[in-house]
């Protein structure tokens, strides 16, 4: 039996807290760095084997888009520069129309960009960084079987059947959308939980390099919007693109043969066929079935002073705003800030964390749903593009008053729910301004016509000329 014993902290005689992080994914590994840097004893428990030694890394592989919130969290533990150097900047969306025309839509100012990063590599880097702390330990092949919110006791089972009993002052659930930690929350009164599968699935395809170079311009997030579905492509360091097809499951199920795959792509994404390769399309489409996407909301995120949920365990979101990882990383830095604010009083910290974080995570979950509609349909709308230009111009003229929603979400740490509130206010003000401007222009035109009426005689066409023109039009 293994028991984590609390140690005396010599500097101020407070008891040194022991933290158990359940889940060694992105948020769990980063959290280990945060807690270890704070001087707490931290152990990470991961059900899988060490992905740094595994031949095949299981799990999701949708490319990640690292932006400001995630970078700030990485910066706090000294990892930002290292991760950024291994990412590829994407300065804009590149919209692919049916006829093959490509049109960029910038994300923000010229200096602003998001980074395409590899999920598995990032996870490995964070695990390695966590191991550099002498007060952090990684435990793989440890599957959580049971735990007690009152005592902080946990039971883990290894693949050989052996069990380990662990005790900690704080249990941090970072074990994903189907969290084993969260199951205990579901048994408790006044815990709110919802899980929603969207009717769309995703499938990944690979676009290889052409003559050793990227097949398309690399510094863009490429999008093929087709109203009810879409395909996107993100660049990788090996000069490939990871293409992800998002589509209703009903549509995926209609395609059952290689020829049908090619026929579908010729109809919907014709410019991608020579880039991916017809033979590769026929094979890759059937390599794995379309995968489901789930959105999870719950509250509160804590139980007493013993347990807290973070990352997908607290708020799994669909991937369409590129904020899933960034929101999870921001969980870590927000929790650390509250730990500092309340001097590590866990009862106060956990309650405040739930109060602060729940409305923000619910807001980004809703925004992610909305952005799917924007990416697959709105980007084809002339009104959407016009409003984008108007928003950007107003932001340039009044940078502190009008801030585009995407800018607030992606390039600042404005709280998610505050960004939504501000966006709704701005949208109302701008739309009213455009309406009044249009009405003013129309009234101005009417006024000018009244003040300066046209000479009807000059405008009119003599009857004989009119009849002669009509006769000319009728003649063969």
At 452, the pLDDT band (50, 70, 90 cuts) reads confident
- Whether residue 29 lies inside any domain: the answer is yes
Are residue 308 and residue 411 in the same domain, yes or no?
no
Tally of CB atoms within 10 A around 439: 10
Task: Tell which of 368, 395, 412 closes a domain.
Answer: 368
Per-residue pLDDT tens digits for 132-158: 999 999 999 999 999 998 888 999 999
Phi–psi pair at 345, nearest 5 degrees: -75, 100
Phi–psi pair at 188, nearest 5 degrees: -100, 150
Residue 12 has pLDDT above 70, yes or no: no
Are residue 122 and residue 200 in the same domain, yes or no?
yes
- Whether residue 206 lies inside any domain: the answer is yes
114-117 and 88-90 as β-strands: parallel, antiparallel, unpaired?
antiparallel
Arithmetic mean of pLDDT, 212-239:
95
Are residue 84 and residue 158 in the same domain, yes or no?
yes
pLDDT of the residue at 292: 95
- Whether residue 260 lies inside any domain: the answer is yes
Q: What sign results for the dihedral spanned by CA atoms 338, 323, 293, 195?
A: positive
Are residue 215 and residue 67 in the same domain, yes or no?
yes
- Whether residue 67 lies inside any domain: the answer is yes
Residue 429 has pLDDT above 90, yes or no: no
Residue 10 has pLDDT above 50, yes or no: no
Distance CA 379, CA 382 (A): 8
Beta bridge partners of 157: 143, 163
Arithmetic mean of pLDDT, 449-469:
62
Are residue 357 and residue 393 in the same domain, yes or no?
no
Are residue 178 and residue 292 in the same domain, yes or no?
yes
Residue 267 has pLDDT above 80, yes or no: yes
Are residue 47 and residue 146 in the same domain, yes or no?
yes
Mean pLDDT, the chain, integer: 89
Arithmetic mean of pLDDT, 23-51:
97
Residue 189 has pLDDT above 70, yes or no: yes
Are residue 357 and residue 415 in the same domain, yes or no?
no
C-beta of residue 276 within 8 angstroms of C-beta of residue 207? yes
Residue 448 has pLDDT above 80, yes or no: no
- Whether residue 172 lies inside any domain: the answer is yes
Are residue 364 and residue 446 in the same domain, yes or no?
no
Are residue 350 and residue 424 in the same domain, yes or no?
no
pLDDT of the residue at 248: 95
Are residue 191 and residue 312 in the same domain, yes or no?
yes
pLDDT of the residue at 201: 95
Residue 71 has pLDDT above 80, yes or no: yes
Residue of 265, 262, 291 lying closest to 201 (CA atoms): 291
Arithmetic mean of pLDDT, 426-432:
84
Tally of CB atoms within 10 A around 452: 7
Residue 434, domain extent: 382-451
pLDDT of the residue at 61: 58
- Whether residue 469 lies inside any domain: the answer is no
At 473, the pLDDT band (50, 70, 90 cuts) reads low
Task: Please confirm whether the linkage preceding 300 is cis (ω < 30° from 0).
Answer: yes
Residue 470 has pLDDT above 60, yes or no: no
| Burial per residue of 383-392, b for 16 or more beta-carbon CB atoms within 10 angstroms, e otherwise | eeeebbeebb
At 382, the pLDDT band (50, 70, 90 cuts) reads confident
At 475, the pLDDT band (50, 70, 90 cuts) reads low
Distance CA 148, CA 167 (A): 9
Are residue 343 and residue 390 in the same domain, yes or no?
no
- Whether residue 99 lies inside any domain: the answer is yes
pLDDT of the residue at 4: 41
Per-residue pLDDT tens digits for 305-324: 999 999 999 999 999 899 99
220-225 and 92-96 as β-strands: parallel, antiparallel, unpaired?
parallel
Distance CA 449, CA 443 (A): 10
At 469, the pLDDT band (50, 70, 90 cuts) reads low
The total number of residues written for the chain in this structure: 476
What is the percent of the chain where pLDDT is above 70? 90
C-beta of residue 280 within 8 angstroms of C-beta of residue 329? no
Per-residue pLDDT tens digits for 277-309: 999 999 999 999 999 999 999 999 999 999 999
pLDDT of the residue at 455: 64
- Whether residue 473 lies inside any domain: the answer is no
What is the total count of domains within the chain? 2
Tally of CB atoms within 10 A around 135: 18
Beta bridge partners of 166: 154
CATH number at residue 284: 3.50.50.60
Q: Which residue has the tokens 């701005």?
A: 426
Tally of CB atoms within 10 A around 347: 12
DSSP 5: P
Arithmetic mean of pLDDT, 10-37:
85
Helix (H) or strand (E) holding 312: helix 312-315
One DSSP character per residue, 248-306 reads EHHHHHH--SHHHHHHHHHHH-GGGHHHH-HHHHHHHTTTSPPEEEEEEEEE--EETTT
């Amino acid at each position: 039996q293994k028991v984590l014993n609390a140690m005396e902290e010599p500097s101020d005689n407070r008891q040194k807290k022991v933290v158990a992080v359940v889940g060694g994914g992105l948020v769990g590994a980063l959290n280990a760095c945060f807690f270890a840097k704070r001087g707490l004893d931290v152990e990470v428990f991961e059900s899988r084997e060490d992905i740094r030694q595994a031949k095949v890394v299981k799990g999701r592989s949708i490319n990640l888009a690292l932006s400001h919130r995630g970078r700030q969290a990485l910066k706090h533990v000294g990892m930002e520069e290292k991760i950024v150097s291994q990412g590829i900047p994407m300065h804009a969306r590149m919209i692919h129309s049916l006829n093959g025309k490509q049109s960029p839509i910038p994300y923000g100012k010229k200096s602003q960009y998001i980074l395409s990063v590899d999920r598995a590599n990032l996870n490995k880097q964070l695990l390695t960084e966590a191991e550099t702390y002498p007060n952090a330990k990684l435990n793989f092949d440890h599957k959580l079987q049971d735990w007690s919110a009152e005592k902080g006791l946990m039971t883990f089972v290894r693949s050989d059947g052996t069990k380990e009993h662990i005790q900690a002052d704080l249990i941090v659930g970072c074990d994903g959308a189907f969290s084993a930690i969260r199951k205990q929350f579901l048994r408790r009164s006044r815990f709110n939980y919802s899980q929603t599968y969207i009717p769309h699935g995703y499938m990944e395809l690979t676009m290889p390099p052409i003559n050793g170079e990227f097949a398309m311009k690399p510094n863009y997030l490429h999008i093929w919007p087709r109203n009810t579905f879409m395909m996107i492509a993100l660049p990788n360091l090996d000069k490939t693109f990871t293409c992800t097809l998002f589509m209703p499951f009903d549509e995926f199920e209609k395609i059952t043969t290689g020829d049908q795959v090619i026929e579908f792509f010729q109809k919907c994404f014709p410019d991608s066929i020579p880039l991916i390769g017809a033979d590769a399309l026929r094979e890759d489409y059937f390599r794995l079935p379309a995968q489901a996407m789930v959105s999870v909301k719950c509250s509160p995120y804590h139980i007493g002073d013993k347990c807290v949920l973070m990352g997908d365990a607290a708020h799994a979101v669909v991937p369409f705003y590129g904020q899933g990882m960034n929101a999870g990383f921001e969980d870590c830095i927000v929790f650390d800030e509250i730990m500092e604010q309340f001097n590590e009083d866990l009862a106060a910290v956990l309650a405040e964390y739930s109060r602060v974080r729940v409305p923000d995570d619910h807001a980004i979950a809703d925004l992610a749903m909305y952005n799917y509609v924007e990416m697959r349909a709105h980007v084809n709308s002339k009104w959407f593009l016009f409003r984008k230009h108007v928003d950007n111009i107003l932001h340039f003229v009044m940078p502190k008053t009008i801030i585009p929603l995407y800018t607030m979400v992606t390039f600042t740490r404005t709280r998610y729910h505050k960004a939504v509130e501000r966006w709704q206010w701005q949208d109302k003000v701008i739309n009213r301004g455009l309406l009044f401007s249009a009405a003013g222009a129309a009234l101005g035109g009417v006024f000018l016509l009244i003040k300066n009426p046209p000479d009807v005689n000059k405008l009119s066409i003599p009857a004989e000329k009119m009849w002669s023109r009509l006769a000319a039009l009728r003649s063969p």
